[in-house]
Amino acid sequence: MHPAKSVIYFTTATGAGYGLFIWLALLSFHGLLPADKMFGFIALAISFGLVVTGLLSSTMHLGHPERAWRALSQWRSSWLSREGVMAVLTFIPMSIFAIAWVFMGNNTGGVALIGLLGAIMALITVYTTSMIYASIKAIPAWYNVSTKLGYLILCLMSGAVLAMVITFIAGYRDTSFYMFFPVNILLLLGLMAKVLYWRHIHSNKAVSTAESATGLGRFGKVSLAESPHSSDNYLLKEMGFKIARKHASKLRVITVFMGFLIPFALIGIAMHYLGGNMKAFALLVAAFSCILGLVFERWLFFAEAKHAVTLFYGESKI
């Protein structure tokens, strides 16, 4: 599949934004974040900013972005529509929680419960995003449980890293240290999820072949005699995007190091061996590395996926 920049930003930014909100709500619910108005404003502004800009960027991939609102009416049959509906509904408890914290200085009690509701709805929204891709049977690389697990784990992982950095810089060192264990667990889980996903999509087992797609398998091996089109068309550009295996391997290495290993190492070094400004700098670099690594991961997620339609354009199997 063609890795559109708008969709890459959408999936990376909304995942991190929702993930950050989830951790802010959880920390508030457990009384680990004081109701400081300025901190609440900055932290929630980052969360809302990532979510809103991500959602807006997703409309840029549409032929008519101005008609995006019409997709909300198809929630009975479309995961894209369900995601839109959930995104809108999730803003209700998220906004109530934010208003109570920023303007009333309250993030405990009933307000914390509303924030927790928003966190649950945010996680459901991320799940609906994953299902946009995991429900497409014509793309075997996406049509599996690894896609759903990957989206959920990476959302919580990136959000946790951001929450850890923000709380440390704000001076809430105990809260930041409290995040050390879940951040490291999620980084390891995220790495495991991606390795298992890559092993799955590059197994030798073919889900569909040119023989099964054309129904001519009973006559023997099917090969392309002539291309259906004399030049590239929309299907080939959007669904027949190819990336060389050697380039994919290099990008995977970059993803593993920048998205998981470097943040894991920097966070461990910062929390145990550094102090003051050096610790803050190391945590900032860890967060930047993590998000940038996820951009590479998301690009590969789209670039390595093969659509069944490519079987009619010379692909032997998917």
Contact 251, 3 (CB under 8 A): no
Cα 187 to Cα 181: distance, rounded to the nearest angstrom: 10
- What span, in angstroms and rounded, lies between the C-alpha atoms of 257 and 255? 6
The alpha carbon of 188 is separated from its chain's Cα centroid by a whole number of angstroms, namely 16
Helix spans in 62-206 (H): 79-104, 109-134, 145-169, 173-178, 180-201
Q: What is the rounded distance in angstroms from the CA atom of residue 271 to the CA atom of residue 268? A: 5
Alpha-carbon distances, residue 130 vs 1, 56, 110, 208 (angstroms) = 16, 17, 31, 22
Fold of 5-313: Formate dehydrogenase/DMSO reductase fold (1.20.1630)
pTM: 0.89
Q: Supply the pLDDT for residue 139.
A: 87
In angstroms, how far is the first alpha carbon of the chain from the final one? Answer: 13
Domain residue spans of the chain: 5-313
pLDDT score at 20: 98
- Segment 6-28, tens digit of pLDDT: 899 999 999 999 999 999 999 99
Which residues, 6+ apart, have CB-to-CB distance to 176 below 8 Å?
164, 165, 167, 168, 283
Q: Residues near 230 by Cβ (< 8 Å), separated by ≥ 6?
A: none
Q: What is the pLDDT of residue 205?
A: 66
pLDDT exceeds 90 at position 168: yes
Per-residue pLDDT of 247-263, as tens digits, reads 788 999 999 999 999 99
Question: Tell me: the pLDDT tens digits for 82-126?
Answer: 999 999 999 999 999 999 999 999 999 999 999 999 999 999 999
